[in-house]
Amino acid sequence: MTSLAARYFDGQSSRVHDVAVELLDNRTLRLRGAGIERDEPLEHLRVSPRLARIARTIELADGARLLLDDHPLIDQWFPLHNPLQRWVDRLERHAHAVAASIVVCVLSGAVLFYWGVPWMSDRIAAQLPEQVETRLGEEVLAQLDRFAGLAPSSLDMERQSGLLERFAALKADMPGAENHRLLFRNAAGIGPNALALPGGTVIITDQLVSLVNDDREIDAVLAHELGHQQQHHALRQTLRSSFVIVIAAMFAGDVSSASAVVVAVPTFLLQGHYSREFESEADAFALRTLAERGISPAWFAQAMRTLEAFVSDQGESDDSPGYLSSHPQTRERIDEAEFAGEKFAIEHPELYRERPDYDACAEDGICEDAESEEMDSDEVYECVDDDCERVEPDASLELQ
């Protein structure tokens, strides 16, 4: 019978006793050392689960304990102890199990962030009472007003009520949109922008109102923001970010003092991912809504171009990124809107006046008199010679 060397502690003092341990018959463990003579029935003993190379402990009924290096015999002595952790230990030592674990972890990480977090957040968003969202929107508005330099609008009342009418026309007979409201703010720090706050509030900045060339561009922007509102994007985004923070913090909690960085980077990346998803949803909603209201979706592309031109005017040095930076992949979005615009033109030939490239002079003969004609003569020629529909909207923008 093999005996194992162990260190014995009586549980009353820190003294180390070197002992030899062996199985006497199949029911008794025998301890022998200087001054130690104990025979203990196995059923009174508890053994610590096997774990990597760390020492094993056998606890005696009176609080004494044996510390011994890991050895296959130990688990033979106690075949029925710690079945769960014994199985886990086998997995930890098994290359295939480790490989499978890596796959499980990476896959569930991906599933969690691509589907799990959005799904959980949306379930919660659907459950939350409306007042929570409204309250959240009020908080955000108060914070924006206080910290983001939003000032009362300097647009005159007439202009404001004109835009409010357009907003009301857009949201008319939209389900659940009765309480959506439009607010005007002068925001030099933010620049031309529109925001959808939780709970139905849409903010449009004076800078955006004065940048656009046609109010139908504002319609396009407002329809996009209404899309955010109708699908509760602000609330859902908030919930998703919260989940990402909680999950990342759980893992990176005590790994390094840089846990803030470790949490911030994935949060930032995932927020970008989620917000792109919401942007395309809101875009699709805006294109649909515009078409339903008899406004060509091409106005959405027009609004995007106006903003794009503004940003590139600002140059790379722009430190107030404004509307577009939160709306990446501008090119693709413009193309989609143009495509929807063409579809609209085919489906509604009678609404040709609603297209951005509609030219009253060429198509309807309603020409402005020469007095107010301050247009570049090149442009006029182009319009006369060429099919006017093919005048590049960009070119007309450059005139501004």
Partner 1 sequence: MTESDDFSLPLAAPPPPPPVPHWPARVQPMPLVEHEFEFSGRGDEYFRIWIVNLALTILSLGIFSAWAKVRTERYFYGNTKLVGVPFEYLAKPLPILLGRIIAVVLFSAYVLAGQFSIGLQLGLALLVAVLAPWLLVRGLMFRARYSSWRGLSFRFVPDYGESYIRFFVLFLPLLASFGLLYPWVKGKQKEFIVDHHRYGTQVFRFLARPGQFYPPYLIAWSVIFAWMFGGAMLFGFGVALLSAGSTSPPPQWIIWAFVVAIYAGYFVVLAFLAAAIANLVYNSTEVGGRRFQSRLKGGRLLWIYASNTVLILVSAGLLIPWAMVRLAQYRASCLSLLARDDFNGIEVRQGQGIDAIAAEVDGLFDIDIGL
Residues that bind partner 1 (CB under 8 A): 7, 9-16, 48-49, 51-55, 57, 64-65, 67, 84-85, 88, 91-93, 97-98, 100-102, 104-106, 108-109, 132, 135-136, 139, 238-239, 241-242, 245-246, 249-252, 255-258, 261-262, 265, 314-319
Q: How far is the CB of 316 from partner 1 (least distance, A)?
A: 6
204, 211 in Cβ contact below 8 A? Answer: no
Residue closer to partner 1, measured from CB, 3 or 85: 85
Residue closer to partner 1, measured from CB, 160 or 238: 238
Place of tokens 């508005």: 141
The CA-based diameter of the chain, rounded to the nearest angstrom, is: 119
User: Which amino acid is residue 259, in one-letter code?
Assistant: S
169, 292 in Cβ contact below 8 A? Answer: no
Q: How far is the CB of 4 from partner 1 (least distance, A)?
A: 16
Residue closer to partner 1, measured from CB, 98 or 168: 98
User: Which amino acid is residue 1, in one-letter code?
Assistant: M
d(CA 286, CA 302): 13
Spatial CA neighbour of 8 closest among 65, 51, 61: 65
Would you state the structure tokens that stand for residue 382, as one six-digit string? Answer: 């182009």
H or E element that contains 307: helix 298-314
Q: How far is the CB of 64 from partner 1 (least distance, A)?
A: 7
d(CA 222, CA 203): 9
Residue closer to partner 1, measured from CB, 85 or 330: 85
Q: How far is the CB of 29 from partner 1 (least distance, A)?
A: 17
Q: How far is the CB of 301 from partner 1 (least distance, A)?
A: 26
Residue closer to partner 1, measured from CB, 87 or 381: 87
Q: How far is the CB of 286 from partner 1 (least distance, A)?
A: 26
d(CA 2, CA 81): 21
Residue closer to partner 1, measured from CB, 252 or 303: 252
DSSP, collapsed to helix, strand or coil, labels residue 38 as strand
Q: How far is the CB of 131 from partner 1 (least distance, A)?
A: 10
Would you state the structure tokens that stand for residue 379, as one six-digit string? Answer: 């442009």
Give, in order, the Cα–Cα distances in Å from 147 to each of 81, 151, 189, 234, 319. 61, 11, 10, 19, 17
Place of tokens 């093999």: 2
Q: How far is the CB of 222 from partner 1 (least distance, A)?
A: 25
Residue closer to partner 1, measured from CB, 51 or 169: 51
H or E element that contains 26: none
Residue closer to partner 1, measured from CB, 199 or 356: 199
